[in-house]
Amino acid sequence: MFASLVFALLLSPISARQNALQQSDVQQSNVQQNDVQPPRLKATNTVALRQLLGKEVTVYGRVESTGKSSSGHQFLNFYGKQVSVMCPSNLIAKFRDGAPADVYRGKTVEVTGQLQLYKGKLQLKLTDPEKIKKLETTGDSGAVRKKVELKSIGRNAWISPAGLRYQGRDPDGRTRVEHVLRHGQDLPQREGPHGVFDGDRGTIFAVIDEAWKLAQTLKLSSRVEGDRSTFLVRMNRRVGYLGGRTGKQRRHPPLARVFIVFETDTKNIITAFPK
C-alpha cells in the first residue's frame, strides 16, 4: 500500500507535465487552424469546387457577365457561367468604386466566401467588399499581366516605353491619356459598340505598346486616311470585351484585337481600344 502511494506521488508531476504539454498542443493546433487560408481554386474547376460545398473557399477567374435583380441584388458570373457571386442589395452601397456589376464585368477577380448551391449551380455570397479584389491577369489563366508607366514629357504629354506619345487634347478637352482610359470602363448607355480593355491603367498602356510592337514585327500595313492612320492588330488572346448598348445586347463578347489610331508617319497616338 505504501509502495503504491509513493509510486503515485512520483508519477503525478509527470502527469501534470503531460497535461500541460497536451494543452499546449491543443492551443498550437487552434492557432494553426486560425492561420489556415481557405483553398483557392479556378472558377472553371467545378469538379473540385463541388467537393467543398458549405466550406469557405477562394475562387478566381474572369467575370464573363453580370446581372441585377429587381430586389437590388447584383450577380457576377464567372467564365463558363457555372459559378456566380451574389452581392446582396444591402452591401452595394459599401463599394466605393461603384456597383459591383459595373466595376467587375470583364475583369479577373478572386472572391472568398462560403460555397453553396443555387438552382444546381455553385454560388458564393459576398459578405464584405474586402472579400473581392481584382487580379492583374490575362483572362482565366492566372498569368500576370505586364504593366507600364507613362513618362511625362511636358504639359499634357506622355511617352510610353515603346515610344508612343500621348499628347494634346481631344475635341472634348480630354488629354489623350484620359481619352484612351475611357476605354478602361464600360459606358453602358453609350450608343453603338464600345471596346473596353481588361485591366487597369498600367495594363492598358502595356497592351497598346505590345500591339504597336507586334504591328511593326509583322510589318502590318496601316490604313492611311490623310493625317490619320490606323492599325488593327490581332493579339491572339482576349484583351477586353464589347461594352456600350451594343455590347449589352450581345452579352459582352470578348475582344482579341487592338485598334490604334495615330497621326500618320508618327508615333503620336490619337486613341486605341479593343475591337
Q: How would you write the pLDDT of the chain (275 residues) with one tens digit per residue?
A: 544 544 444 444 444 444 444 444 444 444 344 445 677 888 888 888 898 899 998 898 889 999 999 999 999 999 888 999 999 999 999 998 889 999 999 898 999 999 999 988 999 999 999 999 888 654 444 444 678 899 999 999 999 999 999 999 999 999 999 999 999 989 888 888 899 999 889 999 999 998 998 898 888 999 999 999 999 999 878 899 999 999 988 988 999 999 999 999 999 999 999 99
Asked whether residue 139 is domain-assigned, the answer is no
Q: Is 68 left (phi over 0), alpha (psi -120 to 50) or beta?
A: beta
What was the pLDDT predicted at 136? 66
> Are 62 and 156 within one domain?
no
> Are 49 and 121 within one domain?
yes
Q: How large is the greatest C-alpha to C-alpha distance in the chain, in angstroms? A: 113
Q: Kindly report whether the global pTM for this prediction surpasses the value 0.85.
A: no
Count of domains forming the chain? 2
Closest CA to 169 of 180, 161, 160: 180
> Are 160 and 125 within one domain?
no
Asked whether residue 25 is domain-assigned, the answer is no
Q: Which domain holds residue 118?
A: 40-134
Asked whether residue 3 is domain-assigned, the answer is no
Cβ contact 90:127 at 8 Å: no
Asked whether residue 104 is domain-assigned, the answer is yes
Residue 58: CATH number of its domain:
2.40.50.140
Q: CA–CA separation, 237 vs 112, rounded Å?
A: 27
Write the secondary structure of 12-74 as one string of H (helix), E (strand) and C (coil).
Answer: HHHHHHHHHHHHHHHHHHHHHHHHCCCCEEECCCHHHHHCCCCCEEEEEEEEEEEEECCCCCE
> Are 119 and 180 within one domain?
no
Residue type, 266: T
Asked whether residue 23 is domain-assigned, the answer is no
> Are 176 and 254 within one domain?
yes
